[in-house]
Structure 1
Amino acid sequence: MSLGGQLTGWGTALSLSLTLLIAGCSGSKSPDYGTFSGSVYTVKRGDTLYRISRMTGTSVATLARMNGISAPYTLQVGQKVRVSGSGAKSTATASNKAVKSRPAASVAKSPAPPVGQRCWRWPTSGKVIMPFSDSDGGNKGIDIAGQRGQAVYAAGPGRVVYVGNQLRGYGNLVMIKHGEDYITAYAHNDTTQVNNGQQVKAGQKIATMGSTGAESVRLHFQIRYRATAIDPQRYLPRQGSSPSC
């Protein structure tokens, strides 16, 4: 469940992206929170460390340090999480009432970047069987059908920042950071062929297609700009062609 501190240095940005990945996968939201006992919070289904941070006013970094939780900050239902400050319970109570009286605050979305700002390549070939949707609970990437063992390629040059299967619903997952603003994610892989911290080139083979965490063989592919999911098909070239930028 721990990545052993390999993502230290920009873990907050990555944890936010992972939190959003989980939210996009679950497709459901719950209006209430877990329970408090003094300064200990009991995790309920759908909770994330970021959500608990917003509710209690304790930073994600502080919550992670106090509870020995490493990126990608996976929580289990019923897990006890210590929060700082004696006012945590009253803060949570106030937040609970606020949530029931108005819609929960959402993470501010970054404006979509212009097409052509970066050159992207298709991560694999195949029919898009599930398009992107920015609606609540919608698909925050595209799902591409293919054959088991089919090559999966890096959509652009960057550094591998996550390789693992700790995120429920994504199977074997690879994430690549491209500069300061972009992260791409490649899920449901059969095998992965890169390591954390590895620099990769655009078009380099990083995995093989599979069905881990999915009902059929497919690649779930996401592009995130400043943690906000954007429609990959808007930025990718026509399938079978090279990027023109």
Structure 2
Amino acid sequence: MLTLMLAGCSGSKSGSDGSYSGSVYTVQRGDTLSKISRMTGTSVRDLARMNGISPPYTIEIGQKLKVNGSSSSGKKSSSKGKTAKVTPSYAVPQSSWPPVGQRCWVWPASGKVIAPYSTSEGGNKGIDIAAARGTPVYASGAGKVVYVGDQLRGYGNLIMIKHGEDYITAYAHNDTLLVNNGQNVKAGQKIATMGSTGANAVALHFQIRYRATAIDPQRYLPAQGSKPKC
């Protein structure tokens, strides 16, 4: 399974190796889960599981990751004693989610929400919108396309759009893809058509991620069929 890393979502060159003390690793520019795995001796699967990293698998510079700490290849701190438990920077608690109206979002597609967002472990980290094959899929906000492809198993033809420094939206299971990586898009611009790639039925899986945490899209979207009031 491809682990798609969008550290800062930029094309900068990799910087120096990150550092870790005991069981906590600090993400540096250019890091990927594969690179961190090699440095710390923690498998990619364990990194994702231990840190609650779910598709679309984003990490951020400065993020604290739990690791097994069994490798001696990384730069370790000379401090002694137990490492304090650190809450990863991407794990934004629901009480700290951004206020409604901070950004204007539009519905990414017309249709019925057949699977809402869930906070339970392993639950749906977005919403699933069902409609006829070929239904237009729209950018929920203005931004830059940072991923177009089908290499994330279970997500089919996927588009990811970055909106400023804090937000990323994801659009999965598309049929036709109408944008390219690196392209700037406007809110409401048609970016794809609905399909069933990587799924058993025609539907759009849509996510809004705030600082890499998947938040409830329906909390921020306007009522279906209406325009945002912000």
User: Shared topology, TM-score over 0.5?
Assistant: yes
The answer (yes or no) to whether the contact 1:132–1:142 under 8 Å persists in 2 is yes
Shift of 1:182: 0.8
Match of 1:147 among 129, 132, 135: 132
Read off the aligned partner of 1:109 and give its amino acid letter: V
In structure 2, the residue matched to 1:8 is 11
In structure 1, the residue matched to 2:91 is 108
Which consecutive residues of structure 2, in runs of 5 or more, have no partner in the other structure?
A: 15-26, 52-64, 77-81
**1:36-78 CA distances to partner (integer Å, 9 max, x unpaired)?**
9x98958475654996x631569xxxxxxxxxxxxxxxxxxxx
The answer (yes or no) to whether the contact 1:56–1:83 under 8 Å persists in 2 is no
Partners of 1:134 and 1:15 lie apart in 2 by 30
Match of 1:178 among 130, 154, 163: 163
Where in structure 2 are the equivalents of 1:93-172 lying within 5 Å? 108-109=91-92, 111-172=96-157
Which consecutive residues of structure 1, in runs of 5 or more, have no partner in the other structure?
A: 20-35, 59-81, 88-93, 96-102
Partners of 1:206 and 1:200 lie apart in 2 by 8
Matched pairs, number: 191
In structure 1, the residue matched to 2:214 is 229
Going from structure 1 to structure 2, the CA distance change for 1:83 and 1:204 (only over 3 Å counts) comes to farther
2:73 is the counterpart of 1:84: yes
In structure 2, the residue matched to 1:90 is none
Q: What RMSD over aligned residues (CA atoms) do the two structures have, in Å?
A: 4.1
Does the residue aligned with 1:234 lie in a helix, a strand or coil?
A: helix
Partners of 1:240 and 1:173 lie apart in 2 by 24
In structure 2, the residue matched to 1:55 is 67
Shift of 1:135: 1.4
Shift of 1:212: 0.8
Shift of 1:168: 1.0
Partners of 1:109 and 1:43 lie apart in 2 by 24
Sequence identity percentage:
61
Does the residue aligned with 1:135 lie in a helix, a strand or coil?
A: coil
- Could you say which structure has the higher helix fraction? 1
